[in-house]
Chain A
Amino acid sequence: MAGNKGRGRASFTFNIEAIGFARGEKLPDVVLKPPPLYPDTDYKPVPLKAGEAEEYMLALKQEFRATMKRTPYFMDTEEEKQEIERYSKRYLKSYKEDDLEWVPDWRRLPREMMPRKKLTKAGPKHQKTKGTAKVAKVMSTVDVLKKIEDLEKKGDEEKSDEETDEKEGGKGKRKDDDDDEDDEAADEQEEYDEEEQEEENDYINSYFDNGDDFGAESDDNMDEATY
């Protein structure tokens, strides 16, 4: 009830003796922060069991882990293809046991698990067109370089005409790509974007004079000494 002995005086709402503190005794400090991340332990842990069974199980565990890594069930993230084959990698051949790709029993799995078939049908046709488009692109750049070398000064206009022709041919093929790519998986879009970005602008590569030719031209006249 109204048992407080005066306002402003610190007192607990319960009998302090009930939890074991004598009256007037110093109460333990209040903890103001979370417990430490690596607390000290007064008692050190008991050593591990060591016996034949334990050692055998340890060996089993480590072997099991190593064997799992070699099964076809282990899906590693694909490492980026290294351009140079490192010598050290040669001796670190990882033996993939069961070289055959594991094929699950499709009867036991839901039908949506099977890899889509329609991709393969569109694949060869699309790849062919893409291949030719790419080849055409490569060819066109090689052609450009050749033509810069051979028909250096004369036939600038000729060159640009041929450029635009090939470019239009390339663009036509690109339109085919568009149609095929409507139902493509996402991972093939990267290549497509690359292609598109490179040929998006209408600038004719050789027409843009960024000053490189200037240096090349001046080199030709290096026969004469400069003072």
Chain B
Amino acid sequence: MTQAEIKLCSLLLQEHFGEIVDKIGTHLIRTGSQPLRAVVHDTGTSLDQVKKALCVLIQHNLVTYQMHKRGIVEYEAHCSRILRILRYPRYIYTAKTLYSDTGELIVEELLLNGKMTMSAVVKKVADRLTETMEDGKTMDYSEVSSTFCRLADTHFVQRCPLVPDPPESADAQPPPPAPTLSINEKDMYLVPKLNLIGKGKRRRSSDDDAAGEPRPKRAKQTAESKEPIPDDGIYWQANLDRFHQHFRDQSIVSAVANRMDQTSSEIVRTMLRMSEITTSSCAPFTQPLSSNEIFRSLPVGYNISKQVLDQYLTLLADDPLEFVGKSGDSGGGMYVINLHKALASLAMATLESIVQERFGSRCARIFRLVLRKKHLEQKQVEDFAMIPAKEAKDMLYKLLSENLISLQEIPKTPDHAPSRTFYLYTVNSLSAARMLLRRCYKSIANLIERRQFETKENKRLLEKSQRVEAILASMQATGAEEAQLQEIEEMITAPERQQLESLKRNVNKLDASEIQVDETIFVLESYTESTMKRA
């Protein structure tokens, strides 16, 4: 784990779970697998707090435990999983586009709580939806359940590994210090047969009443939770890999649409949809699909003839981008999508665009040239790029100092004399991608720190505005006159209002930047993972 990653994980944990969890989580990332005693001793926090923090982290799938010999349980934090927290808004938004509000809320609840049982999710989502509906209408549990089933069928949510059943024999050995969780591949998306009948409940808006009100409500809630839950022990979590697969498909389709036209992108989308279930997420290319199958599976609105489809497929296969490849001639032509090549092209396009924005279009031209031609000498670079020698030299050294381009020495003589050695410029894609990835992590860490700084600077003002809003709300609830409300509003002066406005603008800008840097991180990470799996 690089320093940049560790710093970013620490900031994310602190923002979402608090300081104590941050301390424990960061310590685990730094030191790897550790038993409980060691964590308590090294971090200096009390045993209770460490236990609670670990429970929270395990609940959210950020830390896993493993039992070693002699009964010692060791805990390990997963840095990459913690970094996924940045992508949560994208997951929730995707669920919204695919399964509308119900799906969105299901995924949001699962991400908020780490893991939940199906009945708990359905109940909570129905309650939330009911609140947003008009008076008198409620959300039925069955609708939410059916959306949940659809999410499970398309593998967007999956079951968590299960606790093994306790052994039957009476003289069993004492239970092990830690359960070994396991799950069968086929059971992962099996929805339990529940008979959830009910409607969402609207929460009564009596928050403004005196503190006596919440007490009886709390007592009622504890009584409710004592009912036996039908699917006890079966927990569900969001399947992040499936979402990543979806993002990858989306970016390939839009790349094809940009390069060619709408119809070809639809064809590619159909092909990807057909291979969703059959291809694992880390395969270099999809299963071969025959042209007849593709024709049959095209969406209903597209009535293009078979011949036109064949022409499109041939065009796609001949394209230098090599997204689609032809693997045989049976069944009218067997076509595959080269996932690894597609990811590589996307990552390289990102790199090129970064070079262009940072160093100018001439540098970008040189970079693209070296990328395509693999190895070039100094003189050749000048000639091919058609840039004067002095400038070309300058730009090459700038790129070299940024580690985007590297030198490859090819000696002519065994004594490696510099005057008799070829020096070739080359781009090592994997290491350049890794370097930029590390830079992305650092930028997000900087953005988060800046946002926290801005918020801290204006803390007093923010609290004041919160207070005023609370007073306004309570006064409106009890029915106050317009003049009184006006007076309260004027408690915040005009320059203060301006300050608040600019603070809000800055915070929004910083947040939006984080989300967009995360998109770049996704492209680069997919590329590096795909390359590592092939090697």
Contacts and interface: CB of A to CB of B under 8 A. Distances in A.
A208 interface: no
Given A92-B470, A113-B54, A48 B513 contact: yes
Contacts of A56: 93, 96
Contact of A14 (B49, B235, B419, B463): B419
B335 to A, nearest CB: 31
Say whether chain B's binding surface is mostly helix, strand, loop, or mixed: helix
A84 interface: no
Interface stretch (B56-64, B342-350, B494-502): B56-64
Contact of A71 (B54, B73, B112, B221): B112
Contacts of A43: 357-360
Say whether chain A's binding surface is mostly helix, strand, loop, or mixed: loop
Which of B54, B89, B178, B359 has most A Cβ within 10 Å? Answer: B89
Contacts of A75: 17-21, 49, 52-53, 56
24 contacts: A14-B417, A15-B419, A21-B393, A48-B509, A48-B512, A49-B516, A56-B93, A56-B96, A57-B90, A57-B515, A60-B89, A61-B88, A74-B18, A75-B19, A76-B18, A88-B463, A100-B225, A108-B179, A108-B181, A109-B65, A109-B179, A110-B73, A110-B177, A111-B177
Interface stretch (A62-70, A149-157, A218-226): A62-70
Contacts of B19: 75-77
A183 to B, nearest CB: 12
Contacts of A36: none
A93 to B, nearest CB: 8
A160 to B, nearest CB: 42
Interface residues of A, number: 55
A95 to B, nearest CB: 7
B244 interface: no
B508 A58 contact: yes
Contacts of A187: 46
Contact of A13 (B51, B92, B418, B511): B418
* 8 nearest CB pairs, A to B: A14-B418, A110-B178, A15-B419, A60-B89, A75-B18, A20-B393, A57-B89, A61-B89
B492 interface: no
Nearest to B92: A60
A68 B218 contact: no
A19 B515 CA distance: 42
A30 to B, nearest CB: 13
Contacts of A92: 463, 466-467, 470
Nearest to A20: B393
Which of A19, A28, A92 has most B Cβ within 10 Å? Answer: A19
A18 B418 contact: yes
Interface of A: 12-15, 18-21, 28, 41-43, 45-46, 48-50, 53-54, 56-58, 60-62, 64-65, 67-68, 71, 73-77, 88, 91-93, 95, 99-100, 104-105, 107-113, 115, 185-187
Nearest to B166: A107
B233 interface: yes
A109 B58 contact: yes
A113 to B, nearest CB: 5
Chain B contact residues (Cβ within 8 angstroms of A): what range?
A: 35 or more
A58 B512 contact: yes
Contacts of B49: 75
A189 B234 CA distance: 42
A75 B58 CA distance: 14
Given A43-B357, A53-B93, A58-B508, A68 B47 contact: no
B442 to A, nearest CB: 13
B283 interface: no
Given A108-B181, A187-B46, A73 B515 contact: no
B315 interface: no
Contacts of A93: 470
B162 to A, nearest CB: 9
A110 B65 contact: yes
B383 interface: no
A111 B419 contact: no
Given A60-B88, A64-B112, A75-B18, 4 more contacts: A60-B108, A88-B467, A92-B467, A113-B54
Contacts of A99: 214, 218, 221
